[in-house]
Chain A
Amino acid sequence: MLKTIIIRVALGILTLWAVSILIFAATEILPGDVASAVLGQGATPETLAVFRHELGLDRPAYVRYLEWFFNALHGDLGIAMTNKRVIIEVIAPRLANTLFLAGYAALIAVPTSVVLGIVAAINEGKFIDRFVNIVSLMTISVPEFFIAYVLILFLAVQYEVFPSLSTVFPDMDLSEKIYVTALPAFTLTMLVMAHMLRMTRTSVLSIMSQPYIEMAFLKGLTRSQVIIRHALPNAAAPIISVIALNLAYLIVGVVVIEVVFVYPGVGQFMVDGVAKRDLPVVQACGLIFAGAFVGLNTLADVLAIMVNPRLRHPR
């Protein structure tokens, strides 16, 4: 088991390294364009050359990659091209904000969707099951900003329960922060809940056809007892990996939601960076998002190995 996990983690690190090369390569396809994009149309070839030298763009790509990569390992993400600020100082508080929002949404979404999924499985085919199914199908097919604007229209404008803009300051109390970020957190929750809920329901129901479940029914247990005592422990592995995968999805969903609610997180920073074509900022944000994504995916696999007895021994 330990060996399998170590191999999986090593693979995750290898992936992360490959991803860093890909991000760097993708942004370096047109190196000249950056200098001319920042300086504008009127730049003479001489000023362009000086600016490129200043940014280090005149050195070979692999040297710049190695330098960027090892600096990133030390936590130095470079300097923003447009306003010359040190990226790590700008990004650190924003990353804390993004993680706060994602964690907030996960804390609501994970327990609710697992419980609702189990309830739907217990009442399979009944009204509550169908209702939960239809609502979750609807939230899957609508764009995230639709949910966000509907929530704003009803909860912030018509009934002024929550603020429509989530402005947070570093010295805000936790309770105030929770109140201000309620709407983005609810939107994110609705986005990721549907998948988790449906997966929980499906994995519990797929185990219901096993012989040992029939045995439990024959012993005279009720349907809810059978599900909670016999089906759920065996359905845990797929449920846990779906949760981890959806948390990875949460990290991406955060980008659009942050823009809707003008929330000062990494996602908004990245979108600004893309609009200004500030490559170091985009690279840094991309690395952070991809790192979180790869990390959570690896975690999903490791947890699945640990929970599932059949995967504990390497074949």
Chain B
Amino acid sequence: MKIFGYKPPATAWVGLAIIAGFILIALFADVIAPYSESESVGQTWDDPSWSFLLGTDNIGRDLLSRLIYGARMTIGVAFVTTILSFLIGTIAGFLAAVGGTVIDQILSRIVDVMLSIPLLIFALIILSVFGSSIFTLVMTLAILDSTRVFRLARAVATNLVVMEYVEAARLRGEGLWWIMRREVLPNALPPMISEFGLRFCFNFLFVASLSFLGLGIQPPYADWGGMVRDNGKAISFGIPAPLWPALAIATMTVGVNLVVDWILSINSRPSGASAEM
């Protein structure tokens, strides 16, 4: 079987299967989950049984159901964040490359300063002012993460704007936006796609870490990082409750990484011809 004309190796299939599985779980959470997201149905940390396959959590909610609903929240937030971050980062990066020295200097220096504060610390500072609703969480992470996307988009686009076809478009009198969209974007796409996978992994782990710290997605929504936090104390009684959501996070990241590795290996092939990906 081929995808976009390329035959994925076995590792990429594993990755694709993991991602597809989690996406299906997230989409059909209502159908699959045996219990609701926030209803207490058992005692604190019940052992796994036929009615609760993974046991229950710190206030007696079914762990498996929370895990299934958590897929929706954790993956969804990370995905929306990454898309927003790419929109902002790519537009700003292309603008810096196409728009001339002044715009480039202003944007690049702002990004330089933002990059010299660790991302987690910066996010904590901003969340302390705005509080963490899902909206502020997504916006904060997207803006902070877009600085990384900006760097790549600018670097790729700087190499493209010196090409003859961009020069030709300028001489034809095309506007900045047209050049960015029709000349730069299609040629910058292959490296940006693998970067999308990497940034998704990063944002995904980041959302999970923030929720783990109690500063990300707030209850009553189930999310994997928050579940680890809620059930953290169980580990000292030898109950593996916090390990399941942590394992789900790890599996998802490994899955995306496997696919990214495959896409990277396509892009680095000498014959190229991967622009339509």
Which A residues are closer than 8 A to B by beta carbons? 15, 18-19, 22-23, 26-27, 29-30, 33, 137-138, 141-146, 149-150, 152-153, 156-158, 164, 248, 251-252, 255-256, 259-260, 270-271, 273-275, 277-279, 282-283, 285-286, 289-290, 293-294, 297
Beta-carbon contact of A157 and B122 below 8 Å: no
The number of A-B residue pairs with CB atoms under 8 Å apart is 137
Tell me which of A22, A150, A275 contacts B114 (CB under 8 A): A22
1/0 per residue, CB under 8 A from A, across B62-80: the answer is 0000000000000000000
A33, A142, A248, A271: the one within 8 Å of B253 (CB): A142
Q: Which residues of B contact A33 (CB under 8 A)?
A: 129
Known contacts A22-B114, A145-B242, A256-B213; 10 additional CB pairs below 8 A are A15-B113, A19-B117, A26-B122, A29-B129, A141-B201, A141-B257, A142-B250, A144-B209, A274-B215, A282-B125
CB neighbours of B126 from chain A (8 A) = 26
Contact stretch, chosen from B155-163, B185-193, B230-238? B230-238
The reply on B124 being an interface residue by CB < 8 A is: yes
How many residues from B make CB contacts under 8 Å with A?
Answer: 43
A33 to B209, CA, bound (A): 26
Using Cβ atoms and an 8 Å threshold, which residues of chain A touch B116?
A: 15, 18-19, 290, 293-294, 297
Closest B residue to A278 by beta carbon equals B128
Query: Do most interface residues of chain A lie in helix, strand or loop, or is the interface mixed?
Result: helix
A256 touches which of B122, B209, B235 (Cβ 8 Å): B209
Asked if A149 contacts B113 (CB within 8 A), the reply is no
Would you call A153 and B117 a contact (CB within 8 A)?
no
Query: Which residues on the B side are within 8 Å of A141 (C-beta)?
Result: 201, 250, 253-254, 257
Contact A274 B128 (CB under 8 A): yes
Using a CB–CB cutoff of 8 Å, the interface residues on chain B facing chain A are: 112-114, 116-122, 124-131, 201, 205, 208-209, 212-215, 225, 228, 232, 235-238, 240, 242-243, 246-247, 249-250, 253-254, 257
Quote the shortest CB–CB distance from A257 to chain B (angstroms).
11
CA distance A153 to B237 in the complex (A): 9
B49 smallest CB distance to A (angstroms): 21
Nearest residue in B to A17 (C-beta to C-beta)?
B113
A-side contacts of B250, CB under 8 Å? 141-143, 146
Subset of 21 A-B contacts with CB under 8 Å: A22-B117, A26-B125, A141-B254, A143-B209, A143-B212, A152-B235, A152-B236, A164-B235, A164-B236, A252-B118, A255-B121, A256-B209, A271-B215, A274-B215, A279-B128, A282-B125, A285-B121, A286-B121, A293-B117, A293-B118, A297-B116
